Amino acid sequence: MASRLKLSIIIIFCFFLTVTNAQELFGIQFPTSAERSAVCSYFEQAFQNKPKETSFVIKRDGRNLFFETNDEKWVNQLFKKSTDGIAVEIVSKDRYSCESTTMASQIKGKLLAPIYTSDLKKGMKPFEKDKYRVAVGTIPGSMMKQDLEFNILFLNENTLCKYYTIYNLASYPWDLLDMGIYLDSLTFKNQKIISDSEQSITRYKTLKFVIPFEKNKSVYEATDIKPLYDSLRLTDFNIKSIDIKAYASIEGSTERNMELQQERGSSIASSMQTFQSPEIKTNITTSENWVEFFNDISKSKFADLKSLSKKEIKAKVVGQTSTELEPILANHRKAVVTLELDRIDLYKDKSVDELIVLFNANLKSEKLEEAAAIQASLYDKVRGLVSPDALNKLEIPRQKKYIDFLVKNNMYKYSMDIRQSMIVYNDLKGLADLDPKNPKIQYNLVVLKFILWRNDAAPIDAIQFKNQISNLKKYGIERSLIDRMMINYHIVRAEREMRKRNFDEKDRSVRNILNTYKKISLTDSDYLSLAQFLTYYAQSSEAVKLLEPRAQEITIDEDLLFYYLNLTMIDKKLTQTDAYRTIMLNAVNQNMERYCKLFNPSLEGGVTFQLLEDAYLKMTYCENCEN
């Protein structure tokens, strides 16, 4: 992925039917839906034709408010008549106090006097790089210490035609599904959702598994963990880090549950540490397992508990009810353990120059296993420190018996510097002449061809390339890996057809992706890339459908879960469901602070506290964030 996390301003609008606030409305007309279609037709068309790059926002500077845009031309074209203009509504978070009931209304805060066409155009001035702004009002002194947001009312002949709330939604750059590269075996990137600069191709790998907890047991002996440790077969690896997410069943005191889970997590980590001398970096988080509790009681006689608050549920899950629920609760006491493994390097004390000499000597002496270990150690040392040119000093004869060394050396160069793609691609084509049936070479050629095709680095015949992907089955490549590549093929094809405005062909590729992704196993990085792709191509409902089952699983990556919330929090049909409450509680369990910050003011890093207009979101917020 191109970067860790970006923020984008996504703007949506909504209408309400009545005005309940007793305040000055400055003669603004609030039409019904039927009236609006007639009165606002010009504005509707102007917004539909607005370039997607055009953005606008209300910015605050002390008490002063400014309408800011990057497209002065579009704004000047929008406002034509003397009573066209903008009115700013100031909304306070106090409106959404957990102690009060929020009543729906057209105007939710303090409405400022409109600014009309003449003053808008006369006051619009350049501001910073490629931006323009105009003053649109002042915050009343009585509101200065409150958490505030600013909505925009767009007026056509003093009639409300567009009501905008600005949602500050997090977005993530998306990429092709990870295809890995063939070294000794097919090796994928570290499957965390992290940036390219953090990715590791060969040195690290991760393992994830679940350890159940016995009721009231908090200590694990080394003998308890030894069978698990042995099953990992860590001959070539040490454990670099352990991430433990410890879950308690929901009954009993929350404070005691958290203490117990911390003790359990620490006990697991300590037991693992006894089997190796390098220190293991450990991170332990604890939470009550409300996610699986709500999922599991849905079809039981206790389903009615889902409508209660967490405090009310705890009061009921005692005595006989607790005993009856025990078969369910027993499955909720566990730890999800993720190990990051670090390859054991027997040559870690050797310098790059020493390793090059040692590799050449061992290869010449036909000590191939030792040479392979030295080659891997050398890559770990040169990666990120020097250019891939150091690998050119390895003296590997271009003979079929040394083909694995030649292939790995090339793919190491590519993984260190994507700019080597064309050089490595051409060299692999030469190696394919030497060993034409080698599956590693054929697979890696396709991986590199994707890079060249997507970046227009070489002329690629799309139909011929598609056939080349299909033909990988002749070399023993698994069908699921070919399907994964076909998804990537159609991602790139959709991008290219979109640029050429061949919308039918673009849509055909999108449909192909929708028909294929269910055939393969997806990592959370894959889910995120696909969801971003589908959203970009106006398939948001498909993106939601893709992520919804995963969002209810406690093992979901945190960034993926919060991206799902970004897609769905403004959809009241979804937020009112029991399943959505479960998903929100999953987010609370993953990172309560991050979840609660979603409801901070949009200009202070939140999405918007106006989400709390939704009673269901407000209930979960008040239950978890206002204690």
Q: DSSP string spanning 397-457?
A: -SSGGGHHHHHHHHHHHHHH-GGGHHHHHHHHHHHHHHSTT-HHHHHHHHHHHHHHHHTT-
Q: What are φ and ψ of residue 242, in 5° steps?
A: -125, 125
Cα four-point dihedral sign 532, 534, 536, 538: negative
Nearest to 86 by CA among 26, 23, 36: 26
Tokens 């061992």 — which residue? Answer: 362
* Burial annotation 370-393 (CB, 10 A radius, 16+ → b, else e): bbbbbbbbbbbbbbeeeebebbee
Residues 6 or more apart in contact with residue 251 via CB below 8 angstroms: 314, 317, 318, 322, 325, 329
Q: Give me 33's structure tokens.
A: 């839906």
Tokens of 37: 């279609």
Helix/strand/coil for 206: strand
Torsion, CA 617, CA 621, CA 623, CA 626, rounded to 10? -150
CA angle, residues 326, 327, 332, in degrees to nearest 5: 80
DSSP letters, 18-57, are -----S--TT-B---HHHHHHHTHHHHHHHHTS-TT--EE
Beta-strand (E) ranges in 432-539? none
Query: What domains are defined for the chain?
Result: 6-170 (no CATH), 204-343 (3.30.1330.60), 393-625 (1.25.40)
Calculated CA dihedral for residues 131, 132, 134, 138, nearest 10 degrees: 0
Helix, strand, coil shares of the chain, percent, nearest 5, are 50, 15, 30
Does an H or E element contain 355, and which? helix 352-364
Q: Identify any residues that bridge with 207 across adjacent strands, giving them in sequence order.
A: 339
Q: CA separation (Å) from 124 to 9, 59, 86, 118, 137?
A: 21, 14, 13, 10, 14
Tell me which residue of 573, 462, 536 sits closest to 563, measured CA to CA.
536
The span from the first CA to the last CA of the chain, in angstroms, equals 37
Backbone dihedral angles phi then psi of residue 501, each to the nearest 5 degrees = 65, 30
Q: d(Cα 139, Cα 69) in Å, to the nearest integer?
A: 20
CA atoms within 13 A of residue 131's CA, in its CB half-sphere: 14
- Report the C-alpha gap between 488 and 509 in whole angstroms: 10
Compute the distance between CA of residue 63 and CA of residue 139 in angstroms, rounded to an integer: 5
Residues of the chain with pLDDT under 70: 1-23, 171-173, 189-205, 232-235, 384-387, 627
Nearest to 579 by CA among 544, 536, 538, 555: 544
Residue 13 pairs with which residues in a beta bridge?
164
User: Do 612 and 103 contact (CB within 8 A), yes or no?
Assistant: no
Q: Which residue has tokens 């970004």?
A: 566
Report if pTM > 0.85: no
At 233 the pLDDT is 66
Under DSSP, the state recorded for 176 is P
List Cβ neighbours of 182 (8 Å cut-off, separation of 6 or more). Answer: 407, 411, 439, 440, 441, 443, 444
pLDDT digits (tens, 9 = 90+) for 296-320: 998 899 999 988 888 899 999 999 9
Q: Are strands 131-138 and 64-69 parallel, antiparallel or unpaired?
A: antiparallel
Element (H, E) at 589: helix 578-590
